[in-house]
Amino acid sequence: MEKPKNRVFSGVQPTGNLHLGNYLGAIRNFVGLQETHECIYCVVDLHAITVWQDPKELAANTREVAAAYIAAGIDPDKHIIFNQSKVSAHAELAWILNCVARIGWLNRMTQFKDKAGKDREQASVGLYAYPVLMAADILAYRATHVPVGEDQKQHLELARDVAQKFNNDFNVPDFFPQPEPLIMGPATRVMSLRDGTKKMSKSDPSDYSRITLRDDADAIALKIRKAQTDPDPLPETVGGLEGRAGASNLVSIYAALSGLTQADVLKEFGGKQFGVFKPALAELAVAKLSPITSEMKRMMESDQGYIDTVLANGAERAQAIAGPVNKRVREIVGFI
Ligand code: TRP
């Protein structure tokens, strides 16, 4: 059976409110891997339903993530874009791996504790098993590299443990490769525009906390103008940003969008007031984001057929890879 050397797998959940953090922290980095890797980018709808999703919105959000992938520059002819629920190997393999993973491992997952909150008894069983489904996603393609943000590193560790235990339990050394994390460049942690100590999040009640990929130029500029800062001018050095979460976040967003280092940004804006910096940041954000957001809007409003064709075609190609892996797993486990 073929052993890939450079196969990337990653996923984004279709839970709505795709924002600047999703773009800078994930999708943009996916684009850059296309030259060097064989890439499989998934819209993880099975993961999305671990918390309640309105069915109509789930469908629209699934198309929106696919549109974001395409508009950001992922080439659906050279690489694979698809939604998870279309390829049954994910769910099937997840069940088998649920029987490999240990409860003790899952009990250590910090994201479950955060997401389940105080009322853990009311969380879905799916939310608890979420990291095993993520392991199945990766292992179904025997992916070698997984671009993830900081918050998903623990889940990737679990995927590695599951792969190893499967190989050991069934005495198939090297069947599943150990997937390596690709930790994405600096400035990928985009913080809330209302509170620079909290991550930008789809679930923040304030719309002003995030720039979404549905915002038009006016909305982007307004949100940046209203972003929380402090009365001091920008510092001359990166060290001077310490203890100034709001300022630090805006500088890091400027750096990420422009491709400059934070030090370079401060070379240009150090000593200047936010009244100067914010309009410059708004202009940059609009210039970089609006080609993507307007193409997404066009596809969502008048070319849904294209999105659906990309997803159907991607699912077929994904199935061609995951199907044989799943078949081999069934044999290894002893299913007839
Ligand atoms: N859990 C990831 C997130 O919320 C999404 C995801 C699902 C994923 N399956 C994956 C990421 C496999 C990488 C690989 O961001």
pLDDT (tens digit, 9 = 90+) per residue, 220-274?
Answer: 999 999 999 999 999 999 999 999 999 999 999 999 999 999 999 999 999 999 9
Residue range 52-64: average pLDDT? 98
Selecting among 3, 86, 113, 202, the annotated active-site residue is 202
Number of other residues whose CB lies within 10 A of the CB of residue 16: 19
What is the rounded distance in angstroms from the CA atom of residue 28 to the CA atom of residue 71?
Answer: 10
Q: Does 285 fall in a domain?
A: yes
Q: Whose CA is nearest to atom 15 of ligand 1?
A: 12
258 and 159 in one domain? no
11 and 83 in one domain? yes
Tell me, using a 6 A CB cutoff, whether residue 13 lines ligand 1.
yes
Q: Indicate which CATH number applies to the domain containing 286.
A: 1.10.240.10
251 and 309 in one domain? no
Can you give the pLDDT at residue 250? 97
Structure tokens at 29: 């980095």
Tell me, using a 6 A CB cutoff, whether residue 148 lines ligand 1.
yes
Kindly tell me if the per-residue pLDDT of 105 is higher than 70: yes
Residue 132 CA to ligand 1 center (angstroms) comes to 11
180 and 272 in one domain? no
How wide is the angle at C-alpha 106 spanned by C-alphas 30 and 8, nearest 5°?
A: 20
Please report, as a single letter, which amino acid is at residue 216: D
Among 17, 27, 42, 50, which is best to mutate for testing ligand 1, by the most ligand atoms less than 8 A from CB?
A: 42
Residue 229 CA to ligand 1 center (angstroms) comes to 32
Tell me, using a 6 A CB cutoff, whether residue 134 lines ligand 1.
yes
Q: Does 193 fall in a domain?
A: no
State which ligand 1 atom lies nearest to the alpha carbon of 9: 14
43 and 67 in one domain? yes
Please report, as a single letter, which amino acid is at residue 322: A
Tell me, using a 6 A CB cutoff, whether residue 329 lines ligand 1.
no
Residue range 101-118: average pLDDT? 96
- The predicted-structure confidence for 116-151, as pLDDT tens digits, reads as follows 999 999 999 999 999 999 999 999 999 999 999 888
106 and 144 in one domain? yes
322 and 215 in one domain? no
Q: Indicate which CATH number applies to the domain containing 56.
A: 3.40.50.620
Cα-based torsion angle of the residue sequence 87, 92, 98, 99 in order, rounded to the nearest 10 degrees = -160
Count of structural domains within the chain:
2
Tell me, using a 6 A CB cutoff, whether residue 190 lines ligand 1.
no
Contact between residue 200 and residue 192 where contact means Cβ atoms under 8 Å apart: yes
253 and 160 in one domain? no
88 and 69 in one domain? yes
State which ligand 1 atom lies nearest to the alpha carbon of 149: 15
Q: Does 199 fall in a domain?
A: no
Tell me, using a 6 A CB cutoff, whether residue 143 lines ligand 1.
no
3-class secondary structure, 71: helix
Q: What is the mean pLDDT of the chain?
A: 96
Residue 189 CA to ligand 1 center (angstroms) comes to 16
Is 199 labeled as catalytic in the residue annotation? yes
Q: State the DSSP H helix or E strand holding residue 73, giving kind and residue range, or none if neither.
A: none
Strand partners, 82: 42
Residue 11 CA to ligand 1 center (angstroms) comes to 5
- The predicted-structure confidence for 296-321, as pLDDT tens digits, reads as follows 999 999 999 999 999 999 999 999 99
Can you give the pLDDT at residue 186? 59
321 and 233 in one domain? no
- The predicted-structure confidence for 157-187, as pLDDT tens digits, reads as follows 999 999 999 999 999 999 999 999 998 765 5
Q: Does 214 fall in a domain?
A: yes
Among 15, 46, 47, which is best to mutate for testing ligand 1, by the most ligand atoms less than 8 A from CB?
A: 47
Q: Does 132 fall in a domain?
A: yes
Contact between residue 14 and residue 65 where contact means Cβ atoms under 8 Å apart: yes
Q: Whose CA is nearest to atom 8 of ligand 1?
A: 11
DSSP string of 246-309, one letter each residue: HHHHHHHHHHHHHT--HHHHHHHHTT--HHHHHHHHHHHHHHHHHHHHHHHHHHHHH-HHHHHH
Can you give the pLDDT at residue 187? 53
Strand locations in the chain, DSSP E? Answer: 7-12, 38-43, 80-83, 145-148, 180-183
Tell me, using a 6 A CB cutoff, whether residue 137 lines ligand 1.
yes
Q: What's the distance, Cα to Cα, between the start and end of the chain in Å?
A: 20
Strands of 180-183's sheet, edge to edge?
80-83, 38-43, 7-12, 145-148, 180-183
Q: Does 284 fall in a domain?
A: yes
Classify residue 306 as exposed, middle or buried by CB count within 10 Å of its CB (0-12, 13-18, 19+).
Answer: middle
DSSP string of 27-42, one letter each residue: IHHHHTTTTTSEEEEE
Kindly tell me if the per-residue pLDDT of 108 is higher than 60: yes
Q: Does 200 fall in a domain?
A: no
Q: Does 202 fall in a domain?
A: no
238 and 169 in one domain? no
Tell me, using a 6 A CB cutoff, whether residue 152 lines ligand 1.
yes
Structure tokens at 197: 């100590």
261 and 292 in one domain? yes
Can you give the pLDDT at residue 188? 67
Kindly tell me if the per-residue pLDDT of 202 is higher than 70: yes
| Parent domain of 312 | 7-188+303-333
